[in-house]
C-alpha cells in the first residue's frame, strides 16, 4: 500500500464552492448514484482490529452475517468514522510519527462520479482513527469531486435501534430525521404527519398492513414540548402508548419509518435488523429495506440508498436465495477476520438444491460461524 | 370441504387458494391458515408433522401442498409407473412422504385420514402465473431445456416477467399472484395442459369429490 500525500490540493476538505458548482455537482452525483445505487464501492482494512488484511466490495444492498467479533460492526464503524472525519478539514500527516506506515488504516473506494477518489483513514491505534486523507486515483484532484462526495458522506446514517429510547416521548422540535437509536421516532413521525400528510398516509397504510392488529397511529403532544407515539388497536379501538408496545413492534415501526423517509440518506447502516422481529415478519423487513436500496422496484423515482445491514438470523438469510450477491460473510480465523461474498462460491447453486441458505449457514458450510476448539 | 394449504410463501398460498376453489368448483373452508414452510427442503421436513397435526388436531378433510421444482428433475409420466420413485423429483418425494406418514395413522375425528393434493410448479410458481400470457413459458419448455442443457429462462427472469421486478414486495407479489390465479380460474384447461405439475394437483383435488 502506498500512501499518497493528502494535501495534494489547496484548501483540503474545506469547501470553497459556488452555488452553481454545488448544484452541478449535486445533479451529476444524483444521476450517477441513481444509476448505481451505491456510494461506497469497497472498503479495505489493514491491521485494523481483527481485520488484518480484509477487503469488501459493497453492493447497493449488503447483508452481513458472521460470528460475533468477525468485523461486521467494524465495517459500519469504519463508514461512520469516515463520515465523522469528512466534517473536518482533510488532514496532512503530522510529523509526530503517531501514524505509522504499518499502522491500522482503512481505505475507501467510491462509485461514479466519485470513483476517481480514494479516501484513507489512518489510525493511531485500533480505537483512534483521526486522520482522513483523500487523494485522486489519477491526474489532478478536482475540488468539486470531494465537495460532492463529502456532501453525501455527511448525510450517511447508522442505526442501532433501542426500544426503550423509541418508546419514550421525544422533543417535537427534534423530528427532522431519525436518530441513531430511534429515540425520536415519535417526533419524526409527528413531523411527517404534519408536514407531509400524503407521505405519512402511505406510511400509516403500510404499518397497518404489516401490523394488522393496529389501525391507526396517534400523537399526543405534551405541554413540555414532547410528543408521545400511540397506536390504536384494530379490535376495539383501544389506544396503546409506545411504552406498552413490544420491542419487535417498535423496531418494525422504526424500520418502516426509515423505508418511508421522503428524503433518505445516501447510505444507511443498520445493525441486527432481525432483532425482536418474528421470523414471519422478516420478509416485510427485507422488503422495507429494498424500498430504500431498490426504489424503482416499488415504483419510486428517487435515488437509491445504499444499505449495509447485519443479522444473525438464518430465517432472514433464507430470503436472499435469489440474491446471494447481497450477502457478505464475515469470517474469523484465530485473530484475523475476512469478508467474502456468498455469490463468489462456485458451488452455491448445487448447495441450494440441498437446503436453505439459513440451514447451510448454521451447518457451517457457508462459513461465518463461531470457531470451536 | 375443509382444506389446508402448505406452500412456500403467502403469495403462493393466496394463488393456490384461488386455484383450489376453481378446481373444486366453489369456495372451501380454509383450515389452519397459518401453516407455512420456508421453501424446499423445509416443506419436506415439516410435512409429516403437518399431516399428523391436521389429522389429529383439526377437522381438515385434505391438504394441498405445492412447491417449486427449482432445478430438480421434472416429474414425468415415467415417474408414475408402479413402484417407481425418483429420489430427486419433488413430486415423487411429496407423495412418498404423504404415503409413509398416513399409512399407520389410526382414524381420527370421524374420518380415515387427510386427503392429499400435491403439485409442483416448474420451475417456480411464477411460471404458472405467466401461463397463457407468455407462450414461451411451459413445463415442456423447461424440461426440453433441462435435456438440452440450455434452460429457456431463469427464475429471476420469470420474476421480472411476472412482477416487473426481481424484488417485488409482498403486497405486489400477492396481487399479481391472485390476479393470475383468478384468470386461470375462469378456465383451467390451459394451465393443466401446459403444466402437468398443476394437472396432477387438479386431478388429486377432483378425486376428493364424493370421498
Which residues from chain A sit within 8 angstroms of residue B171, using beta carbons?
A: 209
Are residue A5 and residue A103 in the same domain, yes or no? Answer: yes
CA dist A356 and B69 (Å) reads: 14
Angstrom distance (rounded) from CA A107 to CA A127: 16
Q: How far apart are CA A307 and CA B108, in angstroms?
A: 52
Residue A270: which residues within 8 A CB-CB, separation 6 or more? Answer: A158, A159, A160, A161, A255, A258, A289, A307, A308, A309, A310
A60-87 pLDDT, tens digit per residue, is 999 999 999 999 999 999 999 999 999 9
* Partner-chain residue, chosen from A297, A354, A356, that has the shortest CB–CB distance to B168: A297
Give the number of other CB atoms < 10 A from CB of residue A321.
17
Closest CA to B128 of B204, B62, B185, B43: B185
| Interchain pair A297, B167: CB under 8 A | yes
Of A207, A239, A264, the last residue of a domain is: A264
Q: Are A149 and A3 contained in the same domain?
A: yes
Q: What is the pLDDT of residues B155-166, one digit of tens each?
A: 999 999 999 999
CA distances from A333 to A164, A337, A361 (A): 36, 6, 16
Measured CA to CA, the distance from residue A124 to residue A122 in angstroms comes to 7
Do A221 and A132 share a structural domain? Answer: no
What is the distance in angstroms between the Cα of B41 and the nearest Cα belonging to chain A? 6
Q: Is there a single domain that holds both residue A150 and residue A7?
A: yes
Asked whether residue A322 is domain-assigned, the answer is: yes
B contact residues 130-159, partner A, Cβ 8 Å cutoff: 155-156, 159
Is A18 among the domain residues? yes
3-state DSSP call for residue A231? Answer: strand
Q: Is residue A220 part of a domain?
A: yes
Quick: pLDDT tens for B133-143.
999 999 999 99
Set of chain B residues whose Cβ sits within 8 Å of the Cβ of A294: 165, 167
Q: Which domain holds residue A195?
A: 158-264
Across the interface, whether the CB atoms of A297 and B169 are under 8 A apart is answered yes
CA-atom Rg of chain B in angstroms:
16
Question: Is the same domain home to A244 and A328?
Answer: no
- Is A14 within a domain? yes
Partners of A284 on chain B (C-beta within 8 Å) are 170
Same domain, A19 and A100: yes
If one counts the domains in chain B, the total is 1
Quick check: B171 contacting A, CB < 8 Å?
yes
> Same structural domain for residues A58 and A144?
yes
Could you give the ipTM of this predicted complex?
A: 0.91
Given an 8 Å threshold on Cβ–Cβ distance, is A294 in contact with B167?
A: yes
Chain B residue with Cα closest to A355 = B41
pLDDT number for residue A93: 67
Across the interface, whether the CB atoms of B169 and A287 are under 8 A apart is answered yes
Query: What pLDDT score does A105 carry?
Result: 94
Among A210, A260, A287, most B C-beta atoms within 10 A, so best to mutate, is A287
A295, part of any domain: no
Which chain B residue shows the shortest CA-CA distance from A282? B170
Which residues, given as ranges, of chain A have pLDDT below 70? 1-37, 91, 93-95
My answer on whether A229 and A343 are in the same domain is no
Measured between CA atoms, how close is B160 to chain A, in angstroms?
10
Q: Note whether A223 contacts B: Cβ–Cβ < 8 A.
A: no
* pLDDT value of residue A149: 95
Ranges of residues in chain B with a pLDDT under 70 are 210-211
Cβ contact A107:A1 at 8 Å? yes
For residue B70, which of B123, B140, B8 has the smallest C-alpha distance?
B123
Pair A373, A248 in one domain: no
Are A290 and B167 inside 8 Å of each other by CB? yes
Residue B153 belongs to domain spanning: 2-208
**Which among B41, B72, B170 has CB closest to A283?**
B170
Which residues on chain A are in Cβ contact (under 8 Å) with B156?
322
Report the interhelical angle of A143-153 vs A19-36 (nearest 10°): 60
Does the bond joining A84 to the residue before it have cis omega, within 30 degrees of 0? Answer: no
What is the 8-class DSSP label of residue A338?
E
| CA distance to partner chain A, nearest, from residue B156 (Å) | 7
* Cross-chain residue pair B155–A318, CB shorter than 8 Å: no
CA distance B139 to B201: 14
Question: How confident is the model at residue A27, as a pLDDT?
Answer: 42
CB-based contact, A325 to chain B, within 8 Å: no
Residues A76 and A117 grouped into a single domain: yes
A208 part of a folded domain:
yes
Size of interface A-B (CB pairs under 8 A): 42
- The C-alpha of B88 sits at a distance from chain A's nearest C-alpha, in angstroms, of 10
Chain A environment of B87 (Cβ under 8 Å):
none
| Best B8, B35, B39 residue to mutate vs chain A (most A CBs within 10 Å) | B39
Q: Do A320 and A224 fall within a single domain?
A: no
Looking at the structure, tell me whether residues A33 and A133 fall in a common domain. Answer: yes
Amino acid at each position: 500500500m502506498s500512501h499518497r500525500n493528502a494535501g495534494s490540493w489547496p484548501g483540503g476538505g474545506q469547501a470553497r464552492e459556488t452555488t452553481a458548482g454545488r448544484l452541478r455537482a449535486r445533479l451529476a452525483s444524483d444521476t450517477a448514484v441513481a444509476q448505481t445505487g451505491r456510494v461506497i464501492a469497497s472498503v479495505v482494512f489493514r491491521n485494523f482490529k481483527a481485520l488484518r488484511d480484509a477487503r469488501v466490495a459493497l453492493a447497493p444492498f449488503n447483508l452481513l452475517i458472521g460470528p460475533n467479533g468477525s468485523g461486521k460492526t467494524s465495517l459500519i464503524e469504519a463508514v461512520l468514522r469516515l463520515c465523522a472525519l469528512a466534517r473536518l478539514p482533510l488532514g496532512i500527516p503530522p510529523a509526530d510519527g503517531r501514524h505509522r506506515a504499518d499502522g491500522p488504516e482503512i481505505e475507501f473506494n467510491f462509485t461514479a462520479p466519485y470513483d476517481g477518489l480514494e479516501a484513507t483513514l489512518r489510525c493511531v491505534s485500533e480505537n483512534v482513527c483521526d486522520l482522513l486523507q483523500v487523494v485522486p486515483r489519477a491526474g489532478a484532484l478536482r475540488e468539486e469531486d470531494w465537495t460532492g462526495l463529502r456532501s453525501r458522506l455527511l448525510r450517511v446514517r447508522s442505526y442501532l435501534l433501542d426500544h426503550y429510547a423509541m418508546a419514550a416521548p421525544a422533543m417535537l422540535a427534534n423530528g427532522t430525521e431519525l436518530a441513531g437509536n430511534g429515540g425520536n421516532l415519535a417526533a419524526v413521525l409527528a413531523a411527517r404527519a404534519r408536514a407531509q400528510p400524503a407521505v405519512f398516509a402511505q406510511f400509516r397504510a403500510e404499518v397497518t398492513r404489516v401490523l394488522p392488529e393496529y389501525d391507526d397511529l396517534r400523537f399526543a403532544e405534551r405541554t413540555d414540548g414532547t410528543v408521545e407515539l400511540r397506536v390504536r388497536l384494530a379490535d376495539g379501538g383501544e389506544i396503546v402508548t409506545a411504552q406498552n408496545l413490544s420491542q419487535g413492534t417498535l423496531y418494525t415501526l422504526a424500520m418502516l419509518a426509515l423505508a418511508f423517509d421522503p428524503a433518505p440518506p445516501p447510505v444507511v447502516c443498520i445493525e441486527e435488523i432481525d432483532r425482536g422481529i418474528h421470523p414471519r415478519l422478516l420478509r416485510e423487513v427485507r422488503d422495507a429495506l429494498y424500498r430504500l436500496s431498490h426504489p424503482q422496484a416499488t415504483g419510486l423515482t428517487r435515488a437509491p440508498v445504499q444499505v449495509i445491514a447485519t443479522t444473525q438470523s438464518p430465517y432472514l438469510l433464507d430470503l436472499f436465495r435469489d440474491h446471494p450477491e447481497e450477502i457478505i460473510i464475515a469470517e474469523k480465523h484465530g485473530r484475523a477476520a475476512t469478508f467474502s461474498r456468498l455469490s463468489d462460491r462456485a458451488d452455491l447453486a448445487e448447495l441450494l438444491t440441498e437446503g436453505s441458505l439459513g440451514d447451510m449457514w448454521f451447518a457451517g458450510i457457508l462459513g461465518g460461524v463461531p470457531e470451536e476448539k | 370441504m375443509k382444506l389446508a394449504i402448505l406452500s412456500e410463501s403467502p403469495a403462493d398460498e393466496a394463488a393456490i387458494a384461488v386455484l383450489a376453489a376453481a378446481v373444486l368448483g366453489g369456495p372451501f373452508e380454509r383450515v389452519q391458515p397459518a401453516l407455512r414452510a420456508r421453501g424446499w427442503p423445509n416443506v419436506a421436513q415439516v410435512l409429516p408433522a403437518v399431516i399428523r397435526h391436521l389429522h389429529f388436531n383439526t377437522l381438515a378433510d385434505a391438504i394441498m401442498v405445492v412447491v417449486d421444482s427449482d432445478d430438480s428433475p421434472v416429474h414425468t409420466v415415467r415417474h408414475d409407473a408402479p413402484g417407481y420413485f425418483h429420489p430427486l423429483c419433488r413430486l415423487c418425494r411429496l407423495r412418498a412422504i404423504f404415503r409413509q406418514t398416513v399409512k399407520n395413522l389410526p382414524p381420527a375425528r370421524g374420518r380415515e385420514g387427510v386427503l392429499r393434493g400435491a403439485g409442483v410448479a416448474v420451475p417456480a410458481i411464477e411460471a404458472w402465473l405467466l401461463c397463457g400470457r407468455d407462450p414461451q413459458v411451459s413445463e415442456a419448455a423447461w424440461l426440453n431445456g433441462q435435456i438440452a442443457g440450455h434452460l429457456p429462462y431463469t427464475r429471476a427472469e420469470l420474476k421480472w416477467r411476472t412482477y416487473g421486478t426481481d424484488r417485488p414486495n409482498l403486497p405486489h407479489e400477492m396481487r399479481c399472484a391472485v390476479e393470475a390465479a383468478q384468470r386461470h380460474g375462469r378456465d383451467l384447461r390451459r394451465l393443466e395442459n401446459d403444466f402437468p405439475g398443476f394437472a396432477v394437483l387438479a386431478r388429486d383435488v377432483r378425486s376428493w369429490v364424493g370421498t
